[in-house]
A and B are shown apart, each in its own frame.
Chain A
Amino acid sequence: MPASLPDANTLIARLADAIAPTLTPDTFIVGIHTGGAWVAERLHALLGCRQPLGVLDISFYRDDFSRIGLHPQVKPSSLPFELEGGTILLVDDVLHSGRTVRAAMNELFDYGRPASIRLAVLVDRGGRELPIRPDFVGLTVDIPEHQNVNLSRLDDGHLTLSIA
């Protein structure tokens, strides 16, 4: 198990290189609030994507709502394009149980029926509880269940990965 994780910006660049050959001009990039949205914003710029960037806040779709309640500051989701028939690249920072991605896909379908959804994650830390796998990965690493992988953003916009 690594004591520290690689630089987030290096991983984002690696992710962009993997995505670039498959990116069609009509692909919409959608980031999952908050960390996924930061990564999506970077990818959107690095890939020169001409379609508007989307952001999902999946709070209303979480499966643990009845246990832990509503997050007090839910940001509205913003999908400034017609989702119906679109090609979606869904972006998150850390892939763990797969429940966030499940919730995000449910929310996407409430906006319309996309032609396809692919998943890009900065870090796949293992520990899946659902049959979900990423199409593009910056880093695959096994992290024990009791530890958390976090992406944080400094005031200057710099992204950092940490294990706690």
Chain B
Amino acid sequence: MNLQLTEDGRLRHLLTLDGLPRAIITQILDTAESFMDVGAREVKKVPLLRGKSIFNLFFEPSTRTRTTFEIAAKRLSADVVNLNIATSSQTKGEAILDTVDNLAAMHADMFIVRHAQSGAAHFIARHVAPHISVVNAGDGRHAHPTQGLLDMFTIRRYKGAFHNLTVAIVGDVLHSRVARSQIHALTTLGVPEVRVIGPKTLLPTGVEQMGVKVFHDMEAGLRGCDVVIMLRLQNERMKGALLPSAQEYFKFFGLTPEKLALAGPGAIVMHPGPMNRGVEIASEVADGPQSVILPQVTYGIAVRMAVMAMLAGGPSA
């Protein structure tokens, strides 16, 4: 059974981009496009989700993702409640499903869930009443579907299409839920060449089976790319045995203007944030003319509006 879709093929929950049909992804991107102008109006709101209650359940800290979900929900006129559960009942030992049940008893219509455990959003989606939708806002190393979707929206806005692109994802693919969601979306949308670039210790074994080409040499991997997606190097990885030092990492896998020149002047540079300047990306590149890192943030609002509007509208499952 597909937890994400209703019997008639509409979006029920958004949990992962793995297996999400191309038609649904395209519908989300098209819907997001129509929400793009709402932020430019006198009243930056449409009344679609008036009277709906959306709970941001963040069991793991986040600034950008939580904020853009909150803005998106407010632009749709929903009521939003933010719960940072790391500092709430969870520390008192309340089980995750008890938290969810309590919020459902407060007449929640949608849960936006971020959790350090892979599968947390699926777990909640399986449990909730039929009228409640769940959006995965990042679960462990598994998936971050709205980030993957906003990245696809960004690529489509700058490149127009997917069928003729070479896209490189650079860095810590092993620990990255963002990279997994991107790879699923890129292959579903028909990108002919998806590359992953990184040191052996930071690429998952068998990553080729996801339909990507593997490069350990960044210069070779960047050549001819239309889109370069840099991943955040999480500082805690440096403490273990995976990497010698930040300086060493930057030397081999940091994106500098010289390395970007190999991809060509038309290539765009993306990063899901937050960036480690001087670790995975040089400031000249992050702030340079090929960077679309800030537009990604803006587009994230329209994409999250699209997902929430598609989930909340129509007959409940």
Contacts and interface: CB of A to CB of B under 8 A. Distances in A.
Given A73-B30, A76-B34, A61 B47 contact: yes
B258 interface: no
Given A110-B42, A111-B42, A68 B314 contact: yes
Contacts, number: 57
Nearest to A107: B46
Contacts of A65: 48, 313-314
Interface residues of B, number: 22
Contacts of A111: 41-43
B309 interface: yes
Interface in B284-317: 309-310, 312-315
B33 A60 contact: no
Interface string B1-27: 000000000100000000000000001
Contacts of B36: 76
User: Which of A68, A70, A76, A77 has the most chain B CB atoms inside 10 A of its CB?
Assistant: A70
Q: What range describes how many residues of A lie at the interface?
A: 20 to 34
Nearest to A61: B47
B37 interface: yes
A69 B10 contact: yes
A111 B46 CA distance: 11
B31 A70 contact: yes
A21 B312 CA distance: 46
B309 A70 contact: yes
Nearest to A113: B42
B313 A72 contact: no
A110 B313 contact: no
Contacts of A83: 42
Interface string B27-59: 100110110111001110111100000000000
A70 B42 CA distance: 23
Contacts of B313: 65-66, 68-70
Interface of A: 57, 59-61, 65-70, 72-77, 83-84, 106-107, 109-112
Interface of B: 10, 27, 30-31, 33-34, 36-38, 41-43, 45-48, 309-310, 312-315
